[in-house]
A and B are shown apart, each in its own frame.
Chain A
Amino acid sequence: MMQEGLDDGPDFLSEEDRGPRAVNVDLQTDATLQVDISDALSERDKVKFTVHTKSTLPNFKQNEFSVVRQHEEFIWLHDSFVENEEYAGYIIPPAPPRPDFDASREKLQKLGEGEGSMTKEEFTKMKQELEAEYLAIFKKTVAMHEVFLCRVAAHPVLRKDMNFHVFLEYNQDLSVRGKNKREKMEDFFKNVVKSADGVLVAGVKDVDDFFEHEKTFLLEYHNRVKDASSKSDRMIRSHKSVADDINRIASTLYTLGTQDSTDVCKFFLKVSELFEKTRKIEARVAADEDLKLADLLKYYLRESQAAKDLLYRRGRALVDYENANKALDKARAKNKDVLQAETSQQVCCQKFEKISESAKQELIDFKTRRVAAFRKNLVELAELELKHAKGNLQLLQSCVGVLKGDT
């Protein structure tokens, strides 16, 4: 029951949320192509994003238009980039994670079941809390889908991609179904092969210092970001638990205050009021940490993986190139199929050099973006923590002042 109420809810995005949201990536918006998610609707099983485009490019029929897309269509677009050989030399912007409201739904359900065991005030309070949580998750998934599109739009080559234009403009359903079982199995095997291959390729020492360094760096960095991401998640969850506890304490103190006939009732009521406010702040601290720290780490986990994939593709091309060289030498020695071997070698060489050239720039850009994003988020994190701590402090001090005046 409760779930339905939320799922078929109206537009969750408030005015302030519109406009380009560069949550994790520092992007320059370019007037020739601006993409954002102007609206989103959550239905039982899926989220419908309204993708809004403003463009002066001639490719599009209009200057401004919107289409409705679902998560699977974003994945389709991402996968089409990955499978395109032309883009082998670029860091493919990581796909947004699937919208996951399961945990939130579960909590709402549990709340519904436990309705009888708590007072009306407690129930209303908890319901509001869970609705706020649901809203936060919702906003996050919208932001992540938007960041993906913005990254594509900002990339000098990817923004010209045909599929991307279709995605933006074609106002019918793209008929992209999710992968069926067989396709998922194929993917699984592909990944296994890729990992094995990846190990082989990684083992090849690169002559180029830059790439050798990048390989070592990315491998370690990716693992550490993964660890930091999961630890930050746990820390933030604990923080939320603490806020919830303070909430319960506030309720009980209120009851105590109303029941008590002695002097101390004023204390209970005042402190209950105080805790109501401070716990809201604590919850905001957890939410901000989630946004500025956890999301940042999660995003760079995905991007560092995409960068690793690029290095893998380059490595693969290098191996192919070297193999082609060997084949050419063999052919020349045997004086058989020399022309064929020569062309093959040329192709491999070009491919490898093309990838190397763009890869270098991509990796440099990656670093620039990463540093900028971390700087922005760490600064904002510190500022928000300060803001909240000062808010808390003020509330606490004023309450202490009042209570001491009372004794």
Chain B
Amino acid sequence: MAAEMEPPPLGDAGQTDFREIEDGEGFFVSTVTTIESPEPSSPDPPSMPAEGISTNGPKQEDISLDDDPEDLFAEATEEVSLDSPEREPILSDGPSPAITPVTPTAMLTPRMGLGTAEMFERALDEIEEDDSGDTFDMHIAVSDPEKVGDGMNAYMGYKVTTKTSMTIFSKNETTVRRRFSDFLGLHSKLASKYLHIGYIVPPAPEKSIVGMTKVKVGKEDLSSAEFVEKRRSALERYLMRTVKHPILLKDPDVMMFLESSELPRAVSTQALSGAGILRMVNKAADAVNKMTIKMNESDAWFEEKHQQFENLDLQLRKLHASVECLVCHRKELSVNTASFAKSAAMLGNSEDHTALSRALSQLAEVEEKIDQLHQDQAYADFYLFSELLGDYVRLITAVKGVFDHRMKTWSKWQDTQLLLQKKREAESKLQFANKPDKLQQAQDEIKELEGKVQQGEKDFELISKTIRKEVSRFEKERVKDFKVVIIQYLESLVQTQQQLIKYWEAFLPEAKAIA
């Protein structure tokens, strides 16, 4: 099977059993370099690669195994590493365009060396321990963003490809087309079903009126291409997180989303729809309620966890802001380096001492390569680090929401208990009033309320139990995610330094040659 793919993967074909890796990879499948350089050689200049790969699109074309080390390197800064190898074993069917690029990683592996391989193995072991029963074997790719329609009614359609060997799915591989509001609709359904009973439902990517308008209007510039890529990557991470949740995976809405060719239009996700307004009103009401509920926390665990998540939220937001700053400044550095490179080239041209002139031209070339390095690093900064942080900031909001629901459940239970007490008092009064009908009614109501109180208590206990499990799962995921991403990010930094060394080492003799 591997051989059928073009070009044939190198050594890493030996790394089997990668399917479990999905756990770690979902987030950075993006084609970091794709957006940045809409090269003439790329198959789809405006936006995305023709192949359904979320990883290396156009750049792929440029890659030949030996020739262009810089391009390869540029690839290497993307965390493509996790994706491609694991796709291989998943393919039960023949190769389809969507799964082709085992290539980039194949070429990457010799570059990245053993380090990456070891990392895969380790991530593997970890994942196998976690799973019980049916091993989680699923991969979802979101690709091929295509603008459908024109003007303000236009929207972006995405191809969603699911590959799995799990039996709950009817096919091993399914491809459907979805639009952004479909994703939002899915989330909205899942949230309404699961949030209030304590399940942490991963939040969907955020709407962006500015971003979408640019796309709708047809502005095909770098920023709208970046926006589309950012969204595509976010959608993919969103789906992967959702299906990693054992309960959500089995939800019929999720299955329908992934498998059915037609999906009813999720109108209620529009901001200004009736449902949208209702949501806003509910949100406001919730905020008020939260302030008024004073819960007697009998369980120290919840108190502690709540505080922990508050702290985590604060720090992650701070970190996210700093990393966004870093991305911005690094991009600026790249631009300024390029500008300096041009200037140095001009200076070299006007220098009339031949050897010095040549050296200055070489300096200009080095700086030009370095500016590309900075650009690539900025993308790694963003897609690896910044987006992960952004995702977790949103996830923690969901976690806090779940804690709030528990509070609400408790409050409901307490309210019912209070009501019961009142009714009991009323009943005892009625005992002496000699009104047999009213007495009977009161007693019936009391019976009903007793049932409700029992239910309330059960609900509260259930949500508490669910939350404990969910938090434990969430924390495990979080630890795994961060560990994997941090290592990948550091490796991107390693690559950058290695390249820097190469460039300056090549320049040094030129400088020394000035006579």
Contact with B along A206-248 (1 / 0, CB 8 A): 0000000100010011001101100110110111011001101
| Chain A count of residues within 8 A CB distance of the other chain | 58
Q: Does A382 count as interface, using CB distance less than 8 angstroms?
A: yes
Chain A CB count within 10 A is highest, among B122, B123, B333, for B333
State whether B329 touches A245 (Cβ < 8 A): yes
Q: Is A256 an interface residue (CB 8 A)?
A: yes
The B interface, classified by DSSP as helix, strand, loop or mixed, is: helix
Known: A234-B336, A242-B333. A404 touches B504 (CB 8 A): no
In the assembled complex, B352 has its CB within 8 A of some CB on chain A: yes
Stretch at the interface among B45-53, B276-284, B340-348: B340-348
**Residues of chain A within 8 A of B514, CB atoms compared:** 371, 374-375, 378
Nearest-neighbor residue (CB-CB) of B305 within chain A = A261
- A227 contact set on B, CB distance < 8 A: 343, 346-347
Knowing A227-B346, A252-B315, A374-B359, the reply to whether A235 touches B491 (Cβ < 8 A) is no
B15 to chain A, nearest CB (A): 16
Whole-angstrom distance between the alpha carbons of A404 and B119 in the complex? 7
The bracket for how many chain B residues form the interface is 35 or more
Nearest to A238 among chain B residues (CB) is B333
- B410 CB to closest chain A CB (Å) equals 25
Main SS of chain A's interface residues?
helix
* Given the contacts A386-B505, A393-B497, A404-B115, A231 and B487 also touching, CB distance less than 8 Å: no
Q: Are A378 and B363 in contact (CB under 8 A)?
A: yes
B330 touches A242 (CB 8 A): yes
Say if the beta carbon of B500 comes within 8 Å of chain A.
Answer: yes
Contacts of B119 in A (CB 8 A): 404, 407
Task: Enumerate chain A residues within 8 angstroms of B308, measured Cβ to Cβ.
Answer: 259, 261
A238–B490 CB distance below 8 A? no
Is A399 an interface position by the 8 A CB rule? yes
Interface string of B115-128 (1 = CB under 8 A from A): 10011001100100
CA distance in complex: A393, B352 (Å): 38
Q: Which of chain B's residues has its CB closest to A222's CB?
A: B350
A389: interface (CB < 8 Å)? yes
Contact with A along B303-337 (1 / 0, CB 8 A): 00000100110011011001101100110110011
Q: Contacts of B323 on A, CB cut-off 8 Å?
A: 245, 249
Q: How many pairs of A and B residues are in contact by the CB < 8 Å rule?
A: 170
Do the beta carbons of A259 and B347 come within 8 Å of each other? no
A382 in contact with B508 given A241-B329, A399-B490 (CB within 8 Å): yes
A242: chain B residues at CB < 8 Å are 326, 329-330, 333
B70: interface (CB < 8 Å): no
The answer to whether B487 touches A404, judged by C-beta atoms less than 8 angstroms apart, is yes
Say whether, besides A262-B479, A404-B115, A374 and B501 are in contact (CB < 8 Å).
Answer: no
Q: Give the Cβ gap from A387 to chain B, nearest Cβ, in Å.
A: 9
- Residues of B within 8 Å of A370, CB to CB, are 353, 356
Most chain B CB atoms below 10 A, which of A224, A253, A386, A392? A224
Which one of A252, A253, A271, A399 has the highest number of Cβ atoms from chain B below 10 Å of its Cβ? A252
**B501-A389 in contact (CB<8A):** yes
Binding site for A on B (CB under 8 A): 115, 118-119, 122-123, 126, 308, 311-312, 315-316, 318-319, 322-323, 325-326, 329-330, 332-333, 336-337, 339-340, 342-344, 346-347, 349-353, 355-356, 359-360, 363, 475, 478-479, 482-483, 486-487, 490-491, 493-494, 497-498, 500-501, 504-505, 507-508, 511-512, 514-515
Q: List 25 A-B contacts (CB under 8 A).
A: A221-B352, A228-B344, A228-B347, A231-B340, A235-B333, A238-B337, A248-B322, A249-B326, A260-B312, A261-B308, A262-B479, A264-B478, A267-B483, A370-B356, A371-B355, A375-B512, A385-B504, A390-B497, A392-B493, A392-B497, A396-B494, A396-B497, A400-B494, A407-B123, A407-B483
Closest 4 CB pairs of A and B: A238-B333, A245-B326, A375-B514, A378-B511
